[in-house]
Amino acid sequence: MVKRAAIAACLVAGCGWSLPAPDVRRDATTDAPRDAATVDLVVVVDGRSDGATSEAAVLDAARDAAVDAAADVTMDRPAGDAVVEAGADVRATDAADVAASDADGSVLPVDAGADVPVDGDVATCTPGERRSCYDGPAASRGMGDCRDGVESCTAGGTWSGACAGSLVPDCAGRVCGSDDCGGACGPPCPTGQVCDDTGQCTTPACGRVEDFTVTCTNGATCPTNALCTFDNFCGCAPGFAARTCDGTDCGTLCTAPDWYCARAGFCGGGAVTCAGGFLCPRHAACDEARRTCICNAGFVAVNCAGARCTACPGTDYRCVPAS
């Protein structure tokens, strides 16, 4: 400090010598000239500047400032809070904490990238809600006897998966013929065979003179399972239909010997063979004890004219969807 005061005095009073020529250089980032010999380090501490601050003082001031900042942070933090480093991975893994959370309903912190379990039974409907459904092939929906059913929503808020009342193609026990919904239960029968009313391929008693076993009063003959009319014409008995040898209906235009009376009970709607050896219409259950037929759930009995019946005669009725 003494040396510096002396130099200042000389400058004021004049000492007979002059300062050396300044070494003027350009800073890389500014166009303003700087005198390397006259630029002092300036450090601002607590709002004051001291152009004569030494390097040691600068380091001391910086260290003090850092300590003060750390002290401020520590003092401002509420007591009891955990200190977490920046970027630390925070997980709620303590079993006691989890139990406490479950008990009081609070929510524990979860990693942003953590896998959160989700209940597999995600609610998809309102309990008691109902909707249309169909279990059969899409192409058969609404065709023939096929009908939509109803699916209900469970108490848990999910669809039951059960389609109650749905009527789908029926080929149970059948290898040929109609499936009741616009399709077939199998490929056509081999040449020489026909599909009978129970859905089986059979060889008809047709095409030969000996297949005409019924003789009328005028000597004319009719095929097996036929009746002679009063005017000595042939007509098939109830429950049978006139068909050509290839199974085509021929009505009253049949020509001997290329026709026969094929079994076609239950209004031609097909039949099922019961264990007791008798027949019931399709979509019916067999009551062997009473040798009667009961239409399945979702079906009702109608006569061949389409009228409902409960004591239906012979085979002149069938079971149709109750819609």
Query: Higher pLDDT residue, 321 or 17?
Result: 321
HSE toward the beta carbon, residue 245, CA cutoff 13 A: 12
Give the residue extent of every domain in the chain. 124-168, 204-264, 271-321
Q: Is the pTM of this model over 0.85?
A: no
Interval 183-234: pLDDT, tens: 999 999 999 999 999 999 999 999 999 999 999 999 999 999 999 998 889 9
Averaged over 45-68, what is the pLDDT?
A: 47
Interval 135-147: pLDDT, tens: 999 999 999 999 9
Query: Higher pLDDT residue, 108 or 230?
Result: 230
- Kindly tell me if the per-residue pLDDT of 291 is higher than 80: yes
What's the mean pLDDT when you consider all of the chain?
Answer: 74
Least confident of 61-70, 105-114, 176-185: 105-114
Which pLDDT value is given to residue 276?
Answer: 85
Paired tokens of 228: 């002679």
Query: Higher pLDDT residue, 206 or 42?
Result: 206
Distance, in Å, from the CA atom of 249 to the CA atom of 282, rounded to the nearest integer, reads: 20
Residue with tokens 């379990």: 117
Per-residue b or e along 234-253, where b marks 16 or more CB atoms closer than 10 Å to that residue's CB: bebeebbbbbbbebeeeeee
Give alpha helix (H) positions in the chain: 2-13, 55-76, 95-104
Averaged over 30-45, what is the pLDDT?
A: 41
Cα dihedral 13, 15, 20, 22, rounded to 10, equals 0
- Kindly tell me if the per-residue pLDDT of 289 is higher than 80: yes
Averaged over 53-79, what is the pLDDT?
A: 48
- Kindly tell me if the per-residue pLDDT of 103 is higher than 60: no
Averaged over 243-260, what is the pLDDT?
A: 94
Question: Which residue, among 191, 288, 294, 290, has the nearest Cα to 247 in the 3D structure?
Answer: 191
Distance, in Å, from the CA atom of 296 to the CA atom of 288, rounded to the nearest integer, reads: 15
How would you class 136 by CB atoms within 10 Å of its CB: exposed for 0-12, middle for 13-18, buried for 19 or more?
buried
Query: Higher pLDDT residue, 292 or 81?
Result: 292
Averaged over 31-59, what is the pLDDT?
A: 43
Per mean pLDDT, which of 44-48, 80-84, 196-200, 265-269 is the most reliable?
196-200
- Kindly tell me if the per-residue pLDDT of 20 is higher than 70: no
Which pLDDT value is given to residue 61?
Answer: 52
Chain-centroid distance of CA 36 in Å reads 80
Distance, in Å, from the CA atom of 279 to the CA atom of 201, rounded to the nearest integer, reads: 17
C-alpha dist (Å) from residue 39 to 25, 28, 157:
12, 16, 80
For the chain, percent of residues with pLDDT exceeding 70: 62
Paired tokens of 243: 């068909």
Residue 313 banded pLDDT, cuts 50, 70, 90? confident
Which pLDDT value is given to residue 317?
Answer: 94
Which pLDDT value is given to residue 200?
Answer: 96
Which pLDDT value is given to residue 151?
Answer: 95
Interval 259-286: pLDDT, tens: 999 999 899 889 999 998 899 999 999 9
